[in-house]
Homo-oligomer: A and B are copies of this chain.
């Protein structure tokens, strides 16, 4: 990084927020994506950002962006580094903007159910702040304790309670961002608007390629009066999907609906189902809302489930999932055991989901190294459902891992695209999935995305190489 850029940054935002120590640079070389972690674990050298800046206000982000634009220096925004698709990857040419010191609660409005935060606010802290008022954001990604509210918006995240409470685009009220030209925009002013295209969507899912999100306002909910669980064995994948389809298409909407295939049922719930599951899958639901509605929903859902041959499973499974839902082994723990693994989420219309499941799992199992290939669903829509594939591969030599890993990704992406699904449900694209976006957008859609990027960021400074498929 040129000394004059560092000096400009120091002058504008202060020495203590412009960091170049090995420790700081090393800690922000990449996000939580597997390939970077594998390389790092294997001792390969990975590029570091040229400098890490830690602004504490929108005005400071604006100063940083203006310096970057004036000096044509690339900028990569960084929250808490829990993205899993390589949305963050630094190199010495880059100013990495670590937003995690922008972590204030700006306002909690109990009447209008609005809460505003600096973009770098940690998710669980934001949720706890509104919970103290009897409210909830209703957005519960597995990463809630290691992700920021701005990251949720930048990546178009989904939470575990999305089936009723919506994905981030249904929860967002307004977005404050700094554009590459240094302008601050505040997009979203009213409960709903027909005031031209909804420009919030330029930033949502842009993964730091269109602007730096500095503040977010969410539309909250009051905490539910009642929570209840229901759990069923699914005699087949098909019966479970049909039951879920019947439930949501009848306009019942449990916030959590998760269906595990037989493999994942045995793996995740072995203490509860070992003797009785007999190779069946599991459908786990959480019902929330006014007590009378929850009771009506439980009764209706039970009748629907039974009509598709589902049978009641142990009651403890739901609370067990709630308690343990965010515990996952680290990539490093797996590497130590000779394993490489990942999850891949896709979605599809109801009529296409089973073909995707069958083809993807079969294709993964074709690989000798693959020791596990399974899936569960976790987000349900009137029109279809998502699938969350998990693959695990075993290699004696860790040098073989990356090739297998990328091949597993390719197989799931292609099985999804070939059968009419969408290749990315809620983890975003990053550098890992961007080559597959063409399946969703088509060539002309990708060209349109590039045009928009060029209009907003003509110098191509924001998170270069991320998200947008190469021309």
Contact = CB atoms under 8 A, between A and B. Distances in A.
B448 A195 contact: no
A191 B386 contact: yes
A441 interface: yes
B382 A429 contact: no
A429 B455 CA distance: 23
A202 interface: yes
B448 A456 contact: yes
A292 B297 CA distance: 8
Interface string A435-471: 0010111101101110110111000000000011000
Contacts of A428: 194-195
B441 A195 contact: yes
Nearest to A381: B191
A195 B289 contact: no
A21 to B, nearest CB: 34
A290 interface: yes
Nearest to A173: B383
Interface in A354-388: 379, 381-386
Interface residues of A, number: 98
A290 B250 CA distance: 7
Interface in A379-404: 379, 381-386
B300 A219 contact: no
A285 interface: no
A220 interface: yes
A383 to B, nearest CB: 5
Interface string A191-203: 1111111110111
Nearest to A294: B296
A251 interface: yes
A440 B195 contact: yes
Contacts of A206: 196-197
A142 interface: no
Given A205-B195, A292-B300, A452-B452, A186 B445 contact: yes
A251 B297 CA distance: 14
Interface stretch (A257-265, A268-276, A417-425): A417-425
A179 interface: yes
Contacts of A455: 451-452, 454-455
A187 B252 contact: no
A347 B347 CA distance: 34
Nearest to A220: B382
Interface stretch (A3-11, A94-102, A119-127, A155-163): A155-163
A193 B290 CA distance: 30
A448 B113 contact: no
A183 interface: yes
A383 B445 contact: no
Contact of A196 (B221, B289, B437, B451): B437
A238 interface: no
Given A155-B194, A197-B201, A424-B195, A189 B114 contact: no
A389 to B, nearest CB: 15
A384 B191 CA distance: 6
A22 interface: no
Contacts of A382: 113, 219-221
Given A195-B422, A197-B452, A222-B251, 13 more contacts: A112-B383, A113-B249, A156-B198, A185-B442, A192-B422, A192-B426, A196-B207, A196-B429, A197-B204, A198-B205, A251-B289, A252-B290, A295-B296
12 contacts: A112-B351, A113-B383, A169-B198, A189-B440, A191-B381, A192-B347, A192-B386, A196-B468, A197-B202, A197-B449, A199-B441, A251-B293
